[in-house]
Chains A and B, each alone.
Chain A
Amino acid sequence: MRKLLLVSIVLITGVVFATRLFYLQIYDTSYQKLSENNAVKVVYNYPQRGYIFDRKGTLLVSNQPSYDVMVIPKDVKALDTLEFCQLLKIEKEDFVQLLEKAWVYSPRIAQVFIPQLTKSEYAALSEKMYKYRGFYIQKRSLRNYHVRHSSNVLGYISEVNERIIKQNPYYQMGELIGMGGVEKQYEAVLRGTKGVKYIQKDRFNRDIGPYKEGIFDTLPTRGNDIMLTIDADLQQYGEDLMINKRGGIVALEPQTGEILALVAAPNYDPALLVGRERSKNFTKLYYDTIAKPLFDRVLQGEYPPGSPFKTLTALIGLQEGVIDLDERIYCHGGYRYGSRTLGCHHHATPLNMIPGIANSCNAYFATVYRRIIDKYPTPQEGIDHWRTHLLSFGLGNYLGYDLPAGNKGFIPDSDYYNRAYQYPKYNWYTPATISNSIGQGEVSLTPMQMVNFTAAIANRGYYYKPHIIKNIVGADSIPKVYTQKNATTINPEYFEPVVNGMFDVYNYGTASALKIPGIDICGKTGTAENYIRINGKRMQLTDHSVFVAFAPKDNPQIAIAVFVENGYWGSRWAGKIASLMIEKYIKGEITRKDLETYVLNGSLMDEYNKPYSGEPFQINQ
Chain B
Amino acid sequence: MKDYKENVQLDWWTIIFYFLLVSIGWVNIYSASLSDTQHGFFDFNQIYFRQLVFIGLSLLLIIFILAIDSRFYERFSSIIYLVSLASLLGLFVFGKNINGATSWYGFGSFGLQPSEFAKAATALALGKYISDIQTNMKELKHQLRTFLIIALPALFIIPQPDPGSALVYAAFVFPLYREGLNYIFVLIGFIAAVLFVGTLFIGVPWMILMILLTTLVWIFYKRKGRRIHWMQYVIIVATCIGFTFSVNYVFNSVFEQRHRDRFNIVLGKEVDEKGIGYNTNQSEIAIGSGSWTGKGWLQGTQTKGNFVPEQHTDYIFSTVGEEWGFLGSLTVVALFVFLIIRLIVLAERQKTIFGRVYGYSVASILFFHFFVNIGMVTGLLPTIGIPLPFISYGGSSLWGFTILLFIFVKLDASNYINR
Contacts and interface: CB of A to CB of B under 8 A. Distances in A.
A172 B289 CA distance: 26
Interface in A366-417: none
B360 A6 contact: yes
B284 A21 contact: no
Interface of B: 34, 36, 174, 177-178, 180, 186, 284-292, 298-299, 301-305, 307, 321-322, 325-326, 329-330, 333-334, 336-337, 340-341, 344, 348, 360, 363-364, 367, 370-371, 374-375, 378-380
Interface string A536-551: 0000000000000000
A325 interface: no
Contacts of B344: 3, 6-7, 10
Interface residues of A, number: 33
Nearest to A2: B178
* Dominant secondary structure of chain A at its interface with chain B: helix
Contact of B334 (A14, A24, A26): A14
A169 B340 CA distance: 51
Given A18-B330, A20-B378, A6 B302 contact: no
Given A6-B364, A11-B337, A28-B288, A21 B326 contact: yes
A25 B337 contact: no
For A2, A6, A34, A203, the residue with the greatest tally of chain B CB atoms inside 10 Å of its CB is: A6
Interface in A25-49: 25-26, 28, 30-32, 34-36, 38-39
B328 to A, nearest CB: 10
Interface string A5-23: 1110111011011101110
A38 B378 contact: no
B326 A26 contact: yes
B343 to A, nearest CB: 10
A17 B333 contact: yes
Contacts of B299: 203
B302 A39 contact: yes
Interface of A: 2-3, 5-7, 9-11, 13-14, 16-18, 20-22, 24-26, 28, 30-32, 34-36, 38-39, 201-205
A408 B370 CA distance: 69
A24 B378 contact: yes
8 tightest A-B contacts by CB?
Answer: A31-B288, A203-B304, A39-B301, A35-B289, A14-B337, A24-B288, A25-B326, A34-B285
B371 A24 contact: no
B287 A3 contact: no
Contacts of B303: 203
23 contacts: A5-B174, A6-B178, A7-B344, A10-B341, A10-B363, A10-B367, A14-B336, A14-B337, A16-B380, A17-B333, A18-B333, A21-B330, A24-B287, A25-B287, A26-B291, A28-B288, A31-B285, A35-B285, A36-B289, A39-B301, A39-B302, A205-B36, A205-B305
A3 B178 contact: yes
B50 to A, nearest CB: 21
Given A2-B177, A17-B378, A205-B305, 19 more contacts: A3-B178, A5-B186, A10-B337, A13-B370, A14-B336, A17-B374, A18-B333, A21-B321, A21-B326, A21-B329, A24-B288, A24-B378, A25-B321, A31-B287, A31-B288, A35-B289, A35-B301, A38-B302, A205-B36
A31 B289 contact: yes
Nearest to A4: B344
A434 B334 CA distance: 93
